[in-house]
Chain A
Amino acid sequence: MASSFELTRNITVGQYLPTGSIIHRLDPRCKLAAFVILILGIAFCGTYGSNVLALILCTALFPLARIPIRYGLSGVKPAIPFILILAILQLLFYGKGFGTGGQTYFHYGFVTITSDSLRLVVVSAMRFVEVIFLSSVLTLSTSTTELTHGMEHLLMPLRKVGFPVHAFALIITIAVRFVPTFALEMEKMMKAQASRGAEFGTGSWWRIVQRTKDMFPIIIPLFNVALKRAEDLILAMEARCYTPTDERTTYKRYHASAKDVFAVVTSLVIVAVLFAIPV
């Protein structure tokens, strides 16, 4: 029971594993670009061959970054029951609506399994594992500061059309910075409510209304505390004359070397190969 109050334990945002591998040492701008290219490529390719290749490549990233693969698997494990249930549902019902093309393997009553619906199920499950692997390698090998800097640099071209890049990077930094703070606040509030006899998560799972109502005494004060903290931060920033629109310099400057460019080019080549695989 005590563990249900320790929210900070579950928070892996900003978890960073400093192993100093070649992936860690990549320029954050190029690393982020390469990962975004790979994730988009994976999201849009829908054949068996390309997904098998992508899965192998994503798995190979772990030894390359000297990160134990169990970090990636720990993201996949809680999802396995969901994937299985969803896969079965998709397999049973999708043959009629969507995957009507291709060969029909099985047909009984309203259940139709076609080669297209089978592919949809297998590919979306593999895609899921690939994206989890990719995003865990990225976040485990890059600190949040590096990530925000990388993002700010990559979005720079958008300034031409009036997009406030620096402000946007600041928003992300604030958001990531405040997650653990609010987790602590929330823990405090849950304990305060529980010591006064409130119950959390002890109702039976089918009593949805009851369980939802249990959350209100936490969620609403959480917003109020957050907004109060926001007011403090606004006052502090304004008192220091912070102007979001000004040109500003950074403490750290990044220089892309040949290996960084190579990483981006490699990811582009990989995506091109993924799309070129016909089956």
Chain B
Amino acid sequence: MEKGLTVRRIVISGVLGAIAILLGVTRLGYIPVPTAAGNATIMHIPAVIGGIMEGWPVGMVIGLIFGVSSFLNATVPLFKDPLVAILPRLFIGVFAYLTYVGLRRVNPYFAIGAAGFIGSASNTILVLGMAVLRGYMTFGVAVGVAITNGLPEAVVSVIVTLAVVASWMNLGTRKKSKLSDDNAAGDK
């Protein structure tokens, strides 16, 4: 894979970051789950998709955008703490990318689904872990939230990631600009 940020990576990060912001400000990115921590979220999915499509730096940048936007939009004090809202989100795309790369030789569709699951799970675990460390929740409460919020998040994440990435990969061979894209053929 080529190093550094190509035009493709910059634009994909920006566009998926825009979706993360949009899902946050329109409240469409929240699944209403009645628990102590408020709503489950699907706003981490752009980070997962970016990580799978263009590698971990893109996933990390989208995670940063998601983190900052959730920090600024937050309605609960828990997410008004930058250590909880921003730092854990950086790793969503990274873990999704690693899962995808590790498994894509087995079966690309399985790898995409697994990356969707791991990306979502890393969001849940890291955010709640940080919340426990910073003293907003007890360990027991965090485990409860992980089950009630984390599981639906992971299921939605797998479905959306699979649908979007699979359709993008099939479309990609014909419609993509290949001027600066060195990894278009290599990634297949």
Fill in one digit per residue for B172-188: 1 if any A CB lies within 8 Å of its CB, else 0.
00011101100000000
Does the CB pair A13–B25 fall under 8 Å?
yes
Give A155 to B7 CA distance when docked, in angstroms.
Answer: 20
A220 near B136 with CB under 8 A, answer no
Report yes or no: A94 in contact with B138, Cβ–Cβ below 8 A. Answer: yes
Number of interface residues of B (CB under 8 A): 64
- Interface Cβ pair total, 8 Å cutoff: 186
Name the distance in Å between B162's Cβ and chain A's nearest Cβ.
10
Which residues of B are found within 8 Å of A125, using beta-carbon distances? 77
Query: Does residue B147 face the partner (Cβ distance < 8 Å to A)?
Result: no
Q: Quick one: given A219-B42, A220-B164, are A43 and B83 in contact (CB under 8 Å)?
A: yes
Q: Which of A139-174 contact B (CB under 8 A)?
A: 139, 164, 167-168, 170-174
Bound state CA distance, A235 and B180, in angstroms?
Answer: 10
Which of B5, B11, B156 lies in contact with A164, CB distance below 8 A? B5
Residue pair A179, B168 in contact (C-beta under 8 Å): no
Whether B15 contacts A233 by the Cβ 8 Å rule is yes
Q: Which of B121-162 contact A (CB under 8 A)?
A: 135-136, 138-141, 152, 156, 159-160
Main secondary structure of the interface of B (DSSP, over half): helix
Verify if A89 is at the interface (C-beta below 8 Å from B).
yes
Query: How many Å lie between the Cα of A102 and that of B22 in the bound state?
Result: 43
Chain B residues near A222: list those with CB within 8 A: 19
A244 close to B10 (CB less than 8 A): yes
- The minimal Cβ–Cβ distance linking B151 to chain A, given in whole angstroms, is 11
A211 CB → nearest B CB, Å: 7
Cα–Cα distance between A219 and B157 once the two chains are bound (Å)? 11
CB distance from A52 to the nearest CB of B (A): 16
Q: Are A223 and B160 also in contact (CB < 8 A) when A234-B8, A245-B4 are?
A: yes
Query: B90 on the interface (CB 8 Å rule)?
Result: no
Check A167 against B138 for contact (C-beta < 8 Å): no
Binds B, one of A53-61, A65-73, A79-87, A266-274: A79-87
A128 at the interface (CB under 8 A from B): yes
A86-B36, A183-B22, A226-B16 are known contacts. Are A212 and B156 too (CB-CB below 8 A)? yes
Which one of A127, A223, A237 contacts B80 once the chains associate, using CB atoms below 8 Å?
A127
Excluding A216-B160, A223-B164, A224-B164, 7 further A-B contacts by CB distance (< 8 Å) are A7-B26, A11-B22, A43-B83, A89-B36, A170-B10, A178-B15, A220-B160
**Chain A residues in the interface with B (C-beta under 8 A):** 7, 10-13, 39-40, 43, 78-79, 82-83, 86, 89-90, 93-94, 96-98, 120, 124-125, 127-128, 131-132, 135, 139, 164, 167-168, 170-179, 181-183, 186, 205-206, 208, 211-212, 215-216, 218-220, 222-224, 226-231, 233-235, 237-239, 242, 244-245
18 pairs, A vs B, C-beta closer than 8 Å: A13-B25, A120-B135, A128-B77, A132-B80, A171-B14, A171-B61, A174-B17, A174-B18, A176-B21, A177-B18, A182-B19, A212-B156, A224-B168, A227-B12, A230-B11, A234-B8, A234-B176, A235-B177
Shortest Cβ-Cβ A-B pairs, 6 listed: A174-B14, A97-B138, A178-B18, A175-B17, A124-B77, A79-B75
